[in-house]
């Protein structure tokens, strides 16, 4: 949620800030704003709506003079989307300006205290509390002032702060919200994500929790929470800036759907060595894996759905119980987790607040933790005992596609690895799975060769009011992701349902014209799902079947059939979701939705 950009250099800041915010707009787009220092005065321009409104208001940045500034694109939490709630926020004396990503948990207490000291508030946000608190704590040195503020606020944050007392300086800090820093020959930059800074440098500084950075046109200095200088290592970005651009596609989502074969290949690359699965930096001994009593997978959203599929994979190979839980539920109960269990945390960004908190709780209880993430150097990657990167490349569209399928493949690699290390997966079974894994990228490519039938199918069904995805076993897990993909970008009501549960209530919703999409990829459960589809068909539903095994019986029942490539039943969710991603995409396009930026959503959910 929310995107932050900052610049301290010799050029005009506002056009550079707008360019960075355009790259970061996937993180939030309820409103946008900039603060630029000019002749010792801070000029703030902000407005509700998409970034284009701010660009128009500022003549694409030309009307805001000054070479030091901060920008923000907002996903609303405290306070509705409005001009007054947009960032940046002034302090009362307008000597300080602040942008913020995250949640200040004790803001109400701080607000009441500041009001007693005579401070008045113009917005409903928790961020304005920070701006006034900076003024209240002002000691004449911006680094030490920010350090004092950090002692008083609780929650998650990435902050950018300007001060008229130090007009050439931009100060920033992070805790549980991402922030990266770089510089080129003449300026320093901060941003919430790497792609916004790639035009300027490939050498980045990844900020750790409670680290402070001060940028001036000539240098970058880092400090700890006590305002003491520290040294930082450089992280070199080796992927191409074009990976974060549309490359001729109408939307990032469509581009990222087509990038899946290569992303899947990157996930596999170097991890299959002969007849074994190996991960750099991870060495779970056979004796340790053997004594595992169970595995927990914790995640949110699509990553949770990947975990549901991963459960089938790991239980098959490790023959130990696997619990999959939404991270926000895991962290607030009393989970039975100890040193004899492995906790796998899955997240595309590696910054998902609930998943990060759940991981910390698992570590506190003694569990070994493994992160499956896409973003190098993210909080989850740094805090877990071990990490597996999916290497999917930057994913810009809010609706994940390649992020999800690479998580599935990473979990399958983990499943084979644990099965081999435990000795419970025979070598012949491992060989068959490894062979199937190696074939997945090519099969994914074949699923994208002819998408016209999916596009035409979406044209026939884009005005559906309710859509039900049904399946059994691993197909039930896949149905939940397919349903989420449709609802989040098209705003059509959709549900993913266990086919065996239809008669326990949901079938009462089926009527003439209801759209039911059945997944039938598991041979042992095929006939049962066909029976379920027959039940909804007799009640007037339109039926679409997704299968790798077309036959006359299914053809006679279904109104339309989506045929996918055959592979090992444990791996087929990687392939079955691809046409359903395309179906959701085209349904959204035909409904005139903003595919990459669906309403009320942001790419990285860094608050509860």
Residue 343 covered by a domain: yes
User: Based on the domain organization, do 26 and 131 belong to the same domain?
Assistant: yes
CA angle 100/104/110 to nearest 5° reads 115
pLDDT at 64 over 90: yes
3-state SS track over 460-515: HHCCCCEEEEEECCHHHHHHHHHHHHHHHHHCCEEEEEEHHHHHHCHHHHCCCCCE
CA–CA distances in Å: residue 282 to residues 143, 175, 257, 294, 418? 39, 27, 30, 19, 11
Residue 184 covered by a domain: yes
Round to whole Å and give the CA distance between 548 and 567: 8
User: Based on the domain organization, do 95 and 184 belong to the same domain?
Assistant: yes
pLDDT value for 603: 61
User: Based on the domain organization, do 457 and 488 belong to the same domain?
Assistant: yes
Q: How many domains does the chain have?
A: 3
Residue range(s) defining the domain that contains residue 503: 452-590
Q: Are 378 and 177 in contact (CB under 8 A)?
A: no
pLDDT value for 371: 97
pLDDT at 376 over 80: yes
Residue 600 covered by a domain: no
β-bridge partners, 205: 181
β-bridge partners, 235: 204
pTM: 0.81
Round to whole Å and give the CA distance between 304 and 307: 5
Specify the 3-state DSSP secondary structure of 334.
coil
Instruction: Lowest mean pLDDT of 307-316, 475-484, 542-551, name the range.
Output: 542-551
Round to whole Å and give the CA distance between 220 and 169: 10
pLDDT at 497 over 90: yes
Residue 335 covered by a domain: yes
Boundary-marking domain end, from 184, 203, 238? 238
User: Based on the domain organization, do 252 and 216 belong to the same domain?
Assistant: no
Sign of the dihedral defined by the CA atoms of residues 346, 350, 354, 357, in that order: positive
Boundary-marking domain end, from 446, 479, 506? 446
pLDDT at 608 over 60: no
Round to whole Å and give the CA distance between 529 and 471: 7
3-state SS track over 144-187: HHHHHHHCCCCEEEEEEEEECCCCCCEEEEEEECCCEEEECCCC
pLDDT value for 297: 98
User: Based on the domain organization, do 62 and 156 belong to the same domain?
Assistant: yes
pLDDT at 378 over 90: no
Round to whole Å and give the CA distance between 483 and 488: 9
Q: Which of 19, 46, 175, 603 is catalytic?
A: 603
User: Based on the domain organization, do 389 and 483 belong to the same domain?
Assistant: no
Round to whole Å and give the CA distance between 212 and 190: 12
What ranges make up the beta strands (E) of 176-280? 180-183, 188-191, 203-206, 211-216, 219-223, 229-230, 235-236, 272-273, 276-277
pLDDT value for 396: 87
Round to whole Å and give the CA distance between 368 and 372: 14
Active site residue 2: yes
User: Based on the domain organization, do 196 and 330 belong to the same domain?
Assistant: no
The stretch 436-449 carries a mean pLDDT of: 95
Helical pair 301-318 and 402-422, crossing angle rounded to 10 deg: 20
What DSSP assignment string belongs to 14-81? HHHHHHHHHHHGGG--SEEEEEEEETTEEEEEEEES-HHHHHHHTTTTTTS--SEEEEEEE--SSS-S
**Backbone Cα Rg of the chain:** 25
Residue 607 covered by a domain: no
pLDDT at 239 over 70: no
User: Based on the domain organization, do 172 and 259 belong to the same domain?
Assistant: no
Mean of the per-residue pLDDT values for the chain? 91
Assign 241 a pLDDT band (cuts: 50, 70, 90).
low
The stretch 92-106 carries a mean pLDDT of: 92
Boundary-marking domain end, from 188, 210, 238? 238
Q: CATH number, domain at 520?
A: 3.40.50.10490
Q: Which of 2, 169, 182, 300 is catalytic?
A: 2
Q: Tokens standing for 358?
A: 């759940």
pLDDT value for 76: 66
Q: Give 200-226 pLDDT, tens digit per residue.
A: 999 999 998 899 999 999 899 999 999
User: Based on the domain organization, do 261 and 300 belong to the same domain?
Assistant: yes
User: Based on the domain organization, do 398 and 526 belong to the same domain?
Assistant: no
Round to whole Å and give the CA distance between 45 and 61: 10
User: Based on the domain organization, do 381 and 462 belong to the same domain?
Assistant: no
User: Based on the domain organization, do 276 and 421 belong to the same domain?
Assistant: yes
Residue 603 covered by a domain: no
Assign 19 a pLDDT band (cuts: 50, 70, 90).
very high
Residue 604 covered by a domain: no
Round to whole Å and give the CA distance between 97 and 164: 9
Residue 599 covered by a domain: no
């Amino acid at each position: 949620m929310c995107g932050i950009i900052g610049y301290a250099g010799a050029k005009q800041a506002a056009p550079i800030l707008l360019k960075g915010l355009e790259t970061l707009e996937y993180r939030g787009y309820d409103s946008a704003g900039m603060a630029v220092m000019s002749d010792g005065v801070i000029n703030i321009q902000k407005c509700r709506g998409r970034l284009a409104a701010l660009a128009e208001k500022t003549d694409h940045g030309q009307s805001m003079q000054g070479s030091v500034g901060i920008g923000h694109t907002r996903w609303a939490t405290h306070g509705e989307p409005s001009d007054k709630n947009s960032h940046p926020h002034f302090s009362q004396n307008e000597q300080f300006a602040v942008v913020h990503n995250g949640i200040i948990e004790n803001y109400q207490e701080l607000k009441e205290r500041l009001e007693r000291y005579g401070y008045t508030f113009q917005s409903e946000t928790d961020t304005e509390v920070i701006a006034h608190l900076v003024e209240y704590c002002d000691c004449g040195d911006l680094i030490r002032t920010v350090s004092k503020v950090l002692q008083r606020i609780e929650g998650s944050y990435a902050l950018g702060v300007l001060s008229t007392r130090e007009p050439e300086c931009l100060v920033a800090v992070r805790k549980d919200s991402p922030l990266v820093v770089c510089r080129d020959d003449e300026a320093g930059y901060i941003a919430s994500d790497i792609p916004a800074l790639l035009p300027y440098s490939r050498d980045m500084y990844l900020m750790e929790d409670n680290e402070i950075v001060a940028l001036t046109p000539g240098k970058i200095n880092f400090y700890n929470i006590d305002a003491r200088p520290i040294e930082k290592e450089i992280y070199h970005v080796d992927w191409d800036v074009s990976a974060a651009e549309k490359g001729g596609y109408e939307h990032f989502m469509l581009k990222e759907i087509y990038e899946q074969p290569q992303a899947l290949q990157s996930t596999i690359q170097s991890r299959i060595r002969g007849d074994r699965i190996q991960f750099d930096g991870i060495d779970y001994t056979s004796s340790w894996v053997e004594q595992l009593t169970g595995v927990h997978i914790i995640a949110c959203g699509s990553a949770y759905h990947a975990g549901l599929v991963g459960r089938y994979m790991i239980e098959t190979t490790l023959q130990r119980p696997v619990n999959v839980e939404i991270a926000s539920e895991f962290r607030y109960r009393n989970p039975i987790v100890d040193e004899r269990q492995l906790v796998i945390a899955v997240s595309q960004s590696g910054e998902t607040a609930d998943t990060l908190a759940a991981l910390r709780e698992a570590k506190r209880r003694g569990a070994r933790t493994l992160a499956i993430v896409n973003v190098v150097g993210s909080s989850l990657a740094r805090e877990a005992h071990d990490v597996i990167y999916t290497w999917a490349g930057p994913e810009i569209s809010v609706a994940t596609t390649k992020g999800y399928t690479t998580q599935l493949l990473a979990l399958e690699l983990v499943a084979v690895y644990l099965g081999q290390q435990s000795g419970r997966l025979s070598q012949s079974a491992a060989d068959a799975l490894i062979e199937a894994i190696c074939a997945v990228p090519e099969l994914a490519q074949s699923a994208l060769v002819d998408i016209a039938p999916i596009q035409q199918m979406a044209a026939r069904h884009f005005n559906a009011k309710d859509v039900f995805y049904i399946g059994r076993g691993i197909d039930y897990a896949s149905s939940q992701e397919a349903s989420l993909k449709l609802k989040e970008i098209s705003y059509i009501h959709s549900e993913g349902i266990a086919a065996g549960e239809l008669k326990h209530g949901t079938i009462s919703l089926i009527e003439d014209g209801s759209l039911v999409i059945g997944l039938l990829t598991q041979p042992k459960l095929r006939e049962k799902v066909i029976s379920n589809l027959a039940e909804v068909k007799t009640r007037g539903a339109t039926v679409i079947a997704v299968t790798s095994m077309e036959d006359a019986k299914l053809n006679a029942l279904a109104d339309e059939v989506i045929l996918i490539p055959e592979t090992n039943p444990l791996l087929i969710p990687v392939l079955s979701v691809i046409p359903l991603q395309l179906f959701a995409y085209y349904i959204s396009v035909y409904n005139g939705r903003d595919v990459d930026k669906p309403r009320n959503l942001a790419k990285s959910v860094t608050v509860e």
